[in-house]
Amino acid sequence: MLHRNAIRAYQQAEQDFYVDGADSHGLVEILYRELVSALERAEKAIEAKDYAERAQETTRALTILYVLGSSLDFTKGGDVANSLAQFYEWARLNVIEAGRVTSAERLATVRKSVLEIAEAWHTIGARVD
């Protein structure tokens, strides 16, 4: 247990370092990366029957989805913001259902979809730089 706490402390320090130097586009990239990681850890926790870890990681994923959804600018974003809002809601509902029925497959589906969005977001950032 102490080992797990030490790893989490290191990961938090590393995350704080990245967040401090990131612009708004970079912050969204960090959120996507953390969301994918949380979903992956939740999948592994389900497979290992570690339900406390599954609960922690699905809660983390849901929190990140909330932050992503609440950061949308519908005035400037128009149809893109609306599409992302619908996607985040779909992802949120699937994460909740995956937790309810303990489905690693459902979490994997959400994770793969988030990866596609994250890759597109990264491509947009690369064009702007």
pLDDT at 4 over 70: no
For the stretch 10-68, pLDDT in tens is: 344 344 444 445 578 889 999 999 999 999 999 999 999 999 999 999 999 999 999 99
pLDDT, residue 126, reads 65
pLDDT, residue 14, reads 45
Dihedral angle, C-alpha 49, 43, 39, 84, nearest 10 °: -120
Among positive and negative, which fits the CA dihedral 76, 116, 65, 28? Answer: negative
Dihedral angle, C-alpha 40, 43, 47, 48, nearest 10 °: 60
The domain ranges of the chain are 24-128
For the stretch 59-104, pLDDT in tens is: 999 999 999 999 999 999 899 999 999 999 999 999 999 989 999 9
The predicted model scores a pTM of 0.80
What CATH superfamily is the domain 24-128? Flagellar protein FliS (1.20.120.340)
Alpha helices in the chain (DSSP H): 2-20, 24-47, 51-70, 74-101, 104-128
